[in-house]
Structure 1
Amino acid sequence: MRLIVSALAAGACLAGAVAPAIARTSAKAPDRFDGTWSVEVITESGSCDRAYRYGVIIENGQARYAGGGDFTVTGRVQPSGAVRATISRGDAAAQVVGRLGQGMGNGNWTTSGSTSCKGRWNAERRG
């Protein structure tokens, strides 16, 4: 479960974590949120670790963890900046919602499965 919470910086939201999310099928100009983001994940309730910070890469509205791992990520950043994603590993999953803006973003997350946790995330654009 700790790895699921870690991936939230994916996903954040963004989805993001770890495996590429579902790719867009149409070719278009880069999304305004494309780039590298640093995401801080904070646990507000439950037995998950207190805080994490991870890199997330967004490409064409799809987020992926900047590192490696064995997570499944589905979700995206909408052109409006709205973030909705699911990050899962085994029977554990985290639902991520929030919004990205100009150079920053934030939102909430909750887990399901054998460990129940919830909290918030904050993102800052790095490149």
Structure 2
Amino acid sequence: MIVSALAAGLCLAGAASPAFAKGGAKADRFDGNWSVEVITESGACDRAYRYGVIIQNGQARYAGGGDFTVSGRVQPSGGVRATISRGDAAAQVVGRLTADGGGNGTWTTSGSTACKGRWNAERRG
């Protein structure tokens, strides 16, 4: 299901453009293990998910396996904007990670299942 991919890969993937350090911000300051909770607020997607995500060099990936396509990066500012897809379904994710190890934002799907909701993240390592 696309929401699985959303939680796993995209919640922490950021904008597809390269991340540039501003004012000394490091592109990899969000690297590490994160736990992401995805909550569906409307649509026929499952109510909630929690998944592990690994961020390395500003790029996010699901801590498990999967047949999802993830595109995007976490910006040095913590900004998150990304897309994940599986088959004809796709999810758009926006939000922000914070230096204190948290983050949140929103997501929407398109394709055969239309859903939207919010996500929360916590650094785990």
Q: Is the TM value for this pair above 0.5?
A: yes
Per-residue deviation, 1:41: 0.2
TM-score (structure 1 length as normaliser) = 0.85
Number of residue equivalences:
115
1:103: which partner in 2?
A: 101
Are the aligned partners of 1:12 and 1:39 in contact in 2 as well (CA < 8 Å)?
A: no
TM-score (structure 2 length as normaliser) = 0.86
What secondary structure sits across from 2:44 in the alignment? coil
Per-residue deviation, 1:30: 6.7
Does residue 125 of structure 2 align to residue 122 of structure 1?
A: no
Does residue 43 of structure 2 align to residue 83 of structure 1?
A: no
Alignment of 1:1-127 (within 5 A): 3-15=1-13, 31-101=28-98, 102-127=100-125
Q: Work out the percentage of aligned pairs sharing the same amino acid.
A: 86
**CA distance in 1 between partners of 2:27 and 2:73 (Å):** 14
Per-residue deviation, 1:58: 0.2
Q: Which runs of at least 4 in structure 1 moved beyond 6 Å after TM superposition?
A: none
**CA distance in 1 between partners of 2:66 and 2:11 (Å):** 16
**CA distance in 2 between partners of 1:30 and 1:98 (Å):** 16
**Counterpart amino acid of 2:46?**
D
Are the aligned partners of 2:27 and 2:75 in contact in 1 as well (CA < 8 Å)?
A: no
Deviations 1:61-119 (A, max 9, x none): 10000000100000110000000110000110000110000200000000000110000
In structure 2, runs of 5+ residues without a counterpart are 19-25
**CA distance in 2 between partners of 1:78 and 1:109 (Å):** 18
Q: 1:69 to 1:11 in 2, by over 3 A?
A: closer
**Counterpart amino acid of 2:106?**
N
**Counterpart amino acid of 1:60?**
N
**CA distance in 2 between partners of 1:108 and 1:10 (Å):** 14
What secondary structure sits across from 1:15 in the alignment? coil
What secondary structure sits across from 1:8 in the alignment? helix
**Counterpart amino acid of 1:124?**
E
Per-residue deviation, 1:11: 3.6
